[in-house]
Amino acid sequence: MRADDTYQWLIGSSARSAHDSFDIHVVASVLALAMTEANGSAREMSERMGLDKPALMELIGAMFPDLMSAFAGVLDDPLL
């Protein structure tokens, strides 16, 4: 998935977030680039975000609560 498609997917999943729309935009932008550049590697995505797994899951849960289950499967990488 391209970064702009990933961004739209993230933004579309932020409706239940209690955070400011600008904050959601910034996190979605950075996360979309990290996901695209990581090429499916959970470890790469975590490193590109500069967060360990618990912090990344907390951020995703806060900003994109509808995607927790999707990301939980991706971030279950034992090497993460």
Give the pLDDT of residue 45: 87
Give the pLDDT of residue 76: 62
Instruction: Tell me: pLDDT of 54 over 50.
Output: yes
Please compute, for residue 18, the number of CA atoms within 13 A of its CA located in the half-sphere on the CB side.
2
pLDDT in tens, 18-49: 899 999 999 999 999 998 998 878 888 888 99
| Domain segments of the chain as ranges | 3-74
Give the pLDDT of residue 9: 92
DSSP 23-60: HHHHHHHHHHHHHHHHTT-HHHHHHHHT--HHHHHHHH
